[in-house]
Structure formats: C-alpha cells, structure tokens
Amino acid sequence: MTDVLAFWGVAIVIGALALPLAFRFFGRFPDTGVGLAFTLGLTLVAAGYFFLRVIGAFSAGQGGFLLVIALFGLATCVIAARDRNFKETFSRSFSSIAVVSGLFSLLFFGFAVFWAHTSDIANTEQPMDFLYLNSMLVSPDYPPHDPWFSGENASYHYGGYLQAAVLTGASGVWPAAGYGLSLAALFASAGTAAFSLCSALTRWLWPRVSRSWVVFAAGLGVVLLLLSGSLASSFELASAHDADHQGVYTAFGVEGLVRCGSEADETCTGLRLGGSSTWYPDDHWVWWRMSRMAYWGPHPPPPETVFPTTVTETPSFSFILGDLHPHVMSIPGVLLAIGVCAALWRGRGRLCWQGHRRLPWYCIVIALIFGSLAFVNVWDVLVFSPLLAVVVFARNLRTQTTSGALWDAISWLTPPALLAVVAFSPWWLDFSPETGGVYAYSGEGTRIEHVLLMWGVLIVFSLTVLYWLLQRGDNAWSLSALFGNPRLPGAFRCRHEAVMRSFTQPFFVAFGVAVLPFAVWLIFVAFQRTAAPYHVGDGVITAFSTRTGGAWAALLLYGFALWFLAAATFLLDRRRHAAAPIAALAALGVLLLYLTELFLLRDALFFLPRFNTVFKLSYQAWIVLSIAGASSVVGAMRITVPRFRPYVVVPLVVLLGASLVFVITNVPNRAGGFNTTVSLDGLRYVQEADGAEYELIRWLQDNVEGDEIVVEASGRLWERGDDGMPVLRQGASSYNSSVSRVGYRTGLQTPIGWPGHEITWRGRSQELLDEITRRQDLVDLIYTAPSEAQVLAALQETGASYVVVGMLERSAYSGGLLPPFGEFLDTVFVEGNVSVFRVPISETVATR
C-alpha cells in the first residue's frame, strides 16, 4: 500500500505543479484545464528529464527524477507569480480541483485494485514494455540503451516509457509494481482529460445551462473512452448461456462466436466450447476475440486469416490486457493535443509569429506537447499535428483573407515545429523503423456488420451533432431556413438564393472532402501501388472485385457520414457556433476509419499490409469519437423537446448499455473472478515458480552497474550430436516471456533478445540480420565452447562482464554442453539452481 500511495502522491504533485500552465492554456475551459494538468505536467517533466540526461547533467537514480520535478515546480511558480490573475483563477477553480482530484484518485485506485488480481508481466508483448520501462530507469547515459541489443541505443518511440519511469523512479517503487501503477496513472489521467474536454465542449454549447448537463456529458465521455467496447460482446455473453441462434448470429457476421459444444463435428461454424459456469463467459481470455474480427466469422477461418489481418483494439481492451504500449500511453497526450486545439479555436485574434515574441514560453510548451506526440507514439503526430495546423488556419480566416491567414498560420506554426524537431533530435537520430510509404489497400475490406458492431455506437452518437442543423429559428444557417413552406407545391424551393449559396458552397466543399480520399485511392490503384494480404500491385479489376459487398457498404457509410459531418463543421464554424469543434472531431474520427479501408502504411508487417494501419488509426478514431460522441449526444438530448426526449434517450441508452457489456463481463474474466492472490508485483509469478530466478533479478539490480553487459541464453535450443559436437535443435523466436528474461526484468544490457522485435524496431536489412546472427552465435559459443580460451574470447567480443546460468540455460544447452564456468570465472551469485559468474578483472600492477 505504501508503494501505491507514493506513486499516487508523485502523480498528484506533478499535476498540482502544472496548474499555473494549465490556467494559462485552458483558461476558457470550465475547469480551467485542471483535468489536463497531470498530463501536461508529466509531458513536460519527462521531456525535461530527457534533455538533461542527454547533456549528462546527472546520472540514473531517484535523485534525478526528483530534481527535474523540483525544477519544473520552480518554473511554474515563476509563471504563477507573473500571472496577475493566478490567485483569482485558483480560487475560482477550487471546486474543479477537488472534483478532478477525486476522479483521478477513484480511477487510479480502482484500476490498481483490478490490476492487483492479474499483475503478471508475462503475456503478449508485456516483456517488451517492461524492458523499456527498466531501460529508462537504469541506462547510465541517454539516449537510453537497448537491453536486448547491447552497445546500441533504443530505436523505438519510448517517450511513454520515460513518463512511466518518471513516476516509478521519483516514487522509488519497485519497477515490477511500477508497471501496473503506470497503467493505473494512464487510466486515471485519460479519464480526467476526457472529463475536462467534454465539459468544455458542452459548456461552450450552453454557457448558462445547469451544471448537471455539463457533468453528465463529461462523465459520459469518460465512460465512452475507457469503458465501452464492441457490441459483439453481447453476442459472446448470450452464447455463453446457450441463448444463441445460428441465423441471428450469421446475419450479424458473428457466427464464429456460436458455442457448439466440445464434441461438435466439422459442421460447427463457431467455438467448440460449452456454456459458461459463471454469469460471465469463463473460458480463457474470452475478451481477446473482441480485438480480432477474424475470430467473429466462421471457424475455422480461411487460410489467409489464420493470422488475423487486422487488430481493432479499444482503450477498454488495452487496459484489460495490460500492455504498456505506445498507443495506450499516448491516450492522455492525444487528449491534451486536442485540448490545445480546442483552446486555440475558442480564442480570439490572429495567430502569427509575433505572438511567440510576446510569450516565448508558450511556443516552448506547444513544441514539447506536439513533439512528445511523436516521442510517445509516432502515429499520433501524423494526425494531430495537421489538426493543429487546420485549427490555426481556420482561426486566422475569421479576420483575414485566405492568403493572409495561410501565411500567418505558417509563421506561427514554424517556430514550435522547428523547436520540437531540434529538441527531440537525439531520439530521432536513433529511430529507424522499417517503413515503405503509402499504398492503396486492395483486399476484402471490413464487413458493414463488423463496422457497426465495432464502431457503430460511437458513430451514431457523433452523428447526433447534425441535430444542431435542424433547429428552427431565424438562424440563416439552419436547415429549416433553407426551404419554403412544406405545404406549398414548391416545398423544396430555396427561400432565398443567398441562403442557398451560403449553404451549397460548404456542402459541396464537404462533398469534395469525402470524395478526395477515394479519388486518390483510384489513382493509386490505377498505377498498381496497391497491397493486400500476400500480394501487391494487382490493378484496378482485382482491387474492385476483391472487396466484398459488405465492405463497399462500409465505405459508403463512412463516405456519407464524413460528407455530412464535414458540411456541419463548415456551416457551424462560419458563425462560430460552439458545436463546430464537436462536428470537426466527429468528422476527423470518421475520416480516420474511412482511411483504414482505403490506404495503408507499409511497415515490417507488410505481409499483413494493413495490420498496424487499422490498429493505430482506428484506435485514434475511438479516442476522438468518444469525445465528440459524448458532447454531441448530450447536446441532442438537451435540445430535444421534453415530450419527445424519451424517443431519443431510450435507444441511445440501449446502445450505451450494450457497449458496456464488454467491460462488465470481461473484467472478472481477466481477474479470475477476483479470487486470485492480490499483489502489484508483476514478477510475483516468477517468485512462485522459481524463487531462485526472482532472487537473481534482485541481485542483478542491486549489484550490476547499468553500463555492464550480462550474457543469458540466446533463445535458440542446442543439444549434443552423435559426434559430441553442439547441434542446433530450434531457432530463436519472440513472444516468449521465459527467454531474454534478464534484459527485460532488469533493463541491463544483454547481447541479444527477441530477434523479431529488433528487426521491427531497426528495419529489415541484411546488415542487421547478419549482426543478429553474429550475436546469437557468440552467445551460443559462450555456453557451448569446449575450451576456456574460446569462452573468454567470445566474452571479450561481446564486451560482457557477467554470465548467467539458470534452468533456462541448462535446458537450452542440454546434454552437458555447458562449460565449467566456475573453474575460470568468478562465482558471484548462487541461489538454488541459478548462478552468476563474473569475468575476472585484470589489473596492471607497477613493479620496480
């Protein structure tokens, strides 16, 4: 409990220190930006720590983290002292501070309780996430090292891991517990950020409405973002209790979720499972199927979908799984960036370079916020930096001509953009993922049924913003002003030509916005720059014929939704209606989903071409649509005539309730019915399975310096051949938590870890493949060499100081292959069947 309170306390302090900046940036928000303060503070503290470590200002350790937090507090105190309105704003914001602090604490401790029942850092890519968290904590120099590729800097967007390390290191929490508490802080900060954004968007709609409506919208935003999920979970729950119907499930495209029983024959299209023995589906990791649409269709799936070609995660899925991945850690930062854009849209006056002369610190903070988007998750900077540019340009258009607005926008955006590039250049120089440009997607596409089950609730909620255009009144921009009396023969004749022109211009511009992506897709297809699973460049006929009818229906849905939402954005923004940013966010979310059906970014998983494109863009869409949907649906409910309100509210409540089934049923599934042993130590399972391995990790962390290299098994399996020589039995692979365990559990450098991940992070090249093989061969030689001289030579080539021998090494190099290390190396640790040997240190002694 002490660790939990210490971690929470550091988070609260960072948020409190950021309040002066939040007040200045988000003064027009009803909570004055209190809900965004923690994310703002942590973003700036982590960036500051990175810069100071790069220049060698201090070494690794708790003191460095505390020093940066203190310096940040000093800087914000100076800003507060120079702000004549700070005391008044603080006093006015006291109730918001109390509410947001309570919400943050509720979400933080609530998630910590859940995680304590399922804290093992052993599944999927959790070892990789733990690797980077530990690397941020122990690296003697910055940029931080790669624990799975000794001697090389990390090549990944690791900014989120650094933010987690700030909280873990400053609080002095054991990293294995800090992993889960970092997830809890993410969960809480994402919730408070959504609360702040939704309350602002709703309050701007009705400056004098009751606070209860604002709180309702803000709470709904938190629920949609963090707790809602796929509607397919309702089918999963029904099937678990034998309430399925083959025809209904087939109609919705989820026949793969039908439970046929364990003795089912080959006619079974679903799962060979029986009913659940608990009120929730109790089969292992049932919630995993909600993130892979390939599992929803007939089973067994077609050969090309044995490895699902798309991933459709939601934040609720991510937090249940517990991956500390960049796309999860970026949620608060994305909301912070949207908040900055909303605040700029709400502001007055033109934005140009002269503004940075008056407020240089404002330029610096903007640079760090949007620079950190890439630092945490590169995909985000590709989406939300253009959003910032559009907002600045649109604001300038209110008072300037198009050319003037454009040039001023460029002059305002250029300084923070250049500053961000320069500030994060030490990271950029090491970042070299495998990329290959943009391609048109020419595969089957996503079925309309699956689109509606996955994103239908958010799309419907977001489309309610169109209701603002249906309001009657003297407003020349409402649809009711565009048409004549419906009782006359010319019911659809425009009442005024000027009004029609004012309407049709943005309407047709919006049509262009909706059509442009498809037009570009056609050009790509015509030039055969296309890709689909296992084939590239098949041409126009294949691209059109391969896509299914349901997928074309999904494209039409996205296209029409984007058309209407873009038109609403233009129409509402012309008169500075407060619903304009809501419509814009809704349009952006639909656009992101639309693009996933048309294009892909080539990466290391090109044999599954749109795997990451759908994954990352649809995840961003979920975040954006959650905010837009909460604000717009509450707006629609508020302006609906009371006697008709139930007809609007009841269907929306039913949809919302169905979307919550995912979390309600899968949280107890993941937590083992809350009947498991409670612990926040993510390595508890190691201690229970092999206490010696647990003590090994403790000893290495306490006794080995961060710049030293430790050798552990390469991941390949060897045995002694008939001739007595080592024979390779099996190659190395990734996703095995028992392999490369020293590197990810301690953050110390090892010669080689998961080879597949190194290729993903550094780009597939023959030079890298050869280097990986060389390192594997050296490590294997250390554990199989017949002579002391060969072992020492291999150790010298790897630069290693320590050799670990545990059960993993004994099983990987079986048949008596292991050399007698104790005869020529110093034995420095022995616990059960685990030993650590140190290479003897040779010193030159002067003699007379």
List, for residues 358-374, the tens digit of each pLDDT value.
889 999 999 999 999 99
Q: How sure is the predictor about 474, in pLDDT bands with cuts at 50, 70 and 90? A: very low
Per-residue pLDDT for 567 more than 80?
yes
CA distance 743 to 188: 29
DSSP conformation class of 18: T
> Per-residue pLDDT tens for 67-80?
999 999 999 999 99
Spatial contact of 61 and 140, defined as CB atoms under 8 Å apart: no
Rounded to 10°, the helix 580-596/448-463 angle is 170
Pairing of strands 599-601, 726-730: unpaired
For all residues of the chain together, what is the average pLDDT?
89
Please count the other Cβ atoms lying within 10 Å of the Cβ belonging to residue 283: 15
pLDDT at 477: 44
- Flag whether pLDDT at 301 surpasses 80: no
pLDDT (0 to 100) of residue 496: 46
CA distance 18 to 336: 13
Instruction: Give the helix ranges, DSSP H, for 260-330.
Output: 315-321, 326-329
**For 21-25, 363-367, 472-476, which range has the lowest pLDDT when averaged over its residues?**
472-476
| Residue 485 CA from chain centroid, whole number | 51
Query: Three-class SS of residue 227?
Result: coil
Decide the pairing of beta strands 530-532 and 438-441: parallel
- Per-residue model confidence as pLDDT tens digits over 135-173: 999 999 999 999 999 999 999 999 999 999 999 999 999
Q: Where are the beta strands (DSSP E) in 515-594?
A: 530-532, 535-536
In the chain the first and final C-alpha atoms are separated, in Å, by: 61
- Residue 482 pLDDT exceeds 60: no
User: In angstroms, rounded to a whole number, what is the distance separating the alpha carbons of residues 746 and 748?
Assistant: 5
- φ/ψ region of 832 (left if φ > 0, alpha if ψ in -120 to 50, else beta) reads left
Is residue 27 within 8 A of residue 41, CB to CB? The reply is: no
Residues 6+ apart with CB under 8 A from 69: 10, 13, 14, 17, 45, 166, 170
Q: In this structure, which amino acid lies at residue 417?
A: A
Counting runs of H as helices and runs of E as strands, what totals does the chain give?
A: 34, 10
- pLDDT reading at 478 higher than 80: no
- Specify the pLDDT at position 724: 77
The pLDDT score that the predictor gives to residue 304 is 45
Give the torsion through C-alpha atoms of 510, 511, 517, 521, to 10 deg.
Answer: -170
Question: pLDDT at position 256, please?
Answer: 83
Would you state the pLDDT for residue 847?
Answer: 61
> Mean pLDDT across the stretch 385-397?
95
Confidence category of residue 249, pLDDT binned at 50, 70, 90:
confident
What integer pLDDT is reported at residue 212 of this predicted model? 87
Token pair belonging to 105 = 């604490």
Structure tokens at 690: 């092999």
**Does residue 323 carry a pLDDT above 60?**
yes
Residue of 660, 570, 643 whose CA lies nearest to 225? 660
Rounded mean pLDDT of 569-586?
Answer: 90
pLDDT digits (tens, 9 = 90+) for 722-765: 777 888 888 877 778 888 999 999 999 999 999 989 988 988 88
State the Cα–Cα distance between residues 525 and 761, nearest whole angstrom: 29
**How much is the pLDDT for 700?**
96
Its pTM stands at: 0.93
Res 601: pLDDT: 86
pLDDT of residue 719: 87
pLDDT tens for residues 198-218? 999 999 988 877 788 899 999
Q: Report pLDDT for 307.
A: 47
Strand, coil or helix: 720: strand
pLDDT value at residue 518: 95
User: How do residues 424-473 score in pLDDT, each as one tens digit?
Assistant: 999 999 888 777 788 888 888 899 999 999 999 999 999 999 887 766 44
Q: Is 674 left (phi over 0), alpha (psi -120 to 50) or beta?
A: left
Averaged pLDDT, 400-413? 93
Query: Residue 300: which pLDDT band, with cuts at 50, 70 and 90?
Result: low
Which tokens in the block code for residue 748? 């110390």
Q: Measuring CA to CA, which residue among 457, 463, 464 is closest to residue 654?
A: 457
- pLDDT exceeds 90 at position 47: yes
pLDDT of 502 higher than 60: no
Model confidence at 503: pLDDT above 60: no
User: Which pLDDT belongs to residue 298?
Assistant: 78
